[in-house]
Amino acid sequence: MYPKAYIEFLAHFHGTRDYFECHEVLEEYWKEVDPRNRSSIWVWLIQIAVAMYHDRRGNQNGARTLVKRCLRKKRDHENELPLLGLDGERLEKQLEEFEARLDDGVPYRSWNMPIIDMELLKEVHLLCQQWGVAYGSPSDMSNESLVFKHKRRKESF
C-alpha cells in the first residue's frame, strides 16, 4: 500500500535515527516518481529529516530555517498526510514545538512522527525489528558516524 522507500524512511526516522539515510532513501524515490516537483510531499518529508539531522549535530540555524519552511508549506500537504498514514495536525504541532525548542536554545531531542495507520505502524516496527533497532529509542549521541554522517561520507570519496 505504501512505497517501500517511505516505510524505510519511517524506520530510519523512528528506529535508526539516521536522518541522513532518511534523506537518501526518500530522495531516490522522489526522483523516480516526481523529480522536478520541489513542492512534492516527498521533498517536504526529506526537509523534516534534514532539519532533525542539522539539529542533532548542533546546527540549530540550519534546523530552524528548514522547520520554518516546513511549517509554511504544511498546508500544501494537508490532504496528502492522511494518505501517508500521518496525523497532519499533530505533526504540525510537533513541528511548532520543534521550532520553539530551537528558539529557546534547547538541545536536540528525538521525536516520532504521528503515524495513525496501524498497518503502517506495524510495517515500520517490523522493519526496525529486522534491522535490530528499537522503534522510538532516542538517538545515540555518542555515535559520531551517525551524528556527522555527511562528513564521514565525504571522507570515503
What pLDDT is attached to residue 157? 39
Q: What is the pLDDT of residues 36-95, one digit of tens each?
A: 899 999 999 999 999 999 999 999 999 999 999 999 999 999 999 999 999 999 999 999
4-155 CATH: 1.10.3450.10
Residues forming a β-bridge with 115: 86
In percent, how much of the chain has pLDDT > 90?
87
Taking 90 as the threshold, does the pLDDT of residue 18 lie above it?
yes
Q: Which three cell numbers mark 77? A: 500537504
